[in-house]
Structure 1
């Protein structure tokens, strides 16, 4: 899960994150590498590991949904768990209540339009929990350029980018909210813009995303934040 935001991390950091010994972590990472689930890149004395792609991140999210809940033994752990539910990264885009709130706002402002007539990012029949939506029922709406500009996203630039074959829009079933959030190049651009504008911060090696005072004010002026998002600090 520590790699699910697209970062590359050394084995020592992953061992600390998992609470395992260095030898045990090395054994598991070797199995993952041999299975093609992670890539490794030597750098100096360290070997940096990253997920093999977006599909692996989706599998991790699905496994987190069905895995037994880890007992919370301290107030600190409980606070961190709530922070993950509130705002986090899902590979390279925003998830949690913040991600779903963005999705809801884009639908309400006609930046996105549901082709099946639904006015909210709810789960549809056939959607797998905590997985990319296979046949997403959304398309760009009439107000997409102006609405996305409020988020600092140049839609025309994204549409005309010929340097990548990654889809402009994809959508995921959020594993905590069980609603859709925006992925693909558009989702990544929104996350990047929020960070560059100083609306969000994120500590190295962590998935939790925190709103700054500037971010609370900016997003509060755009849409009504979901419960708890304005308290993330």
Structure 2
């Protein structure tokens, strides 16, 4: 029996146990291990991520508080503008503004302020005059409102709620000399959204172009 030369010779790669397929598999396994190690987070990186999340959460809370404060005084600003428009409409027909409230602390629609909303149009100081002034709202209100009116500077109104409105230009509550010789009105709103006894106050008058407020975060 005869054998060919090639049949007696075992390939060198097979004798050494280093077939191309086996070596390639081990190399891929090592690469996967190195890749997995490189993707792992270190403790420092995790702490940095946690710190960034904390900063973003703090910024979000600040923005949320600002939004809530702005939303809180959106109601009285809108109602005050409605009162101003109603007073001007009344004056266009009657030549004077309507003196609605007994004082600037006689809040409508409810005399007692708190954190609950009250229906506009209910019982309150000057109810008949408020109906005559024809002021309407989109729904229940959280603030109380008062508006005083007169002619000339003989009628004096004073600051209410323990706050001084000094420094407001053209403020008749501080200096009655700002009252014109003709008709005038003053509007004040107050609210206690957190029921802590400290009022947020808003003020405007026929002598002012702006609405001023104190303690808008209350």
TM-score w.r.t. structure 2 length?
Answer: 0.26
Higher RCO structure (Cα 8 Å, ≥6 apart): 1
Choose between structure 1 and 2: higher strand proportion.
Answer: 1
Larger radius of gyration: 2
Q: How does the TM-score come out when normalised to structure 1? A: 0.25
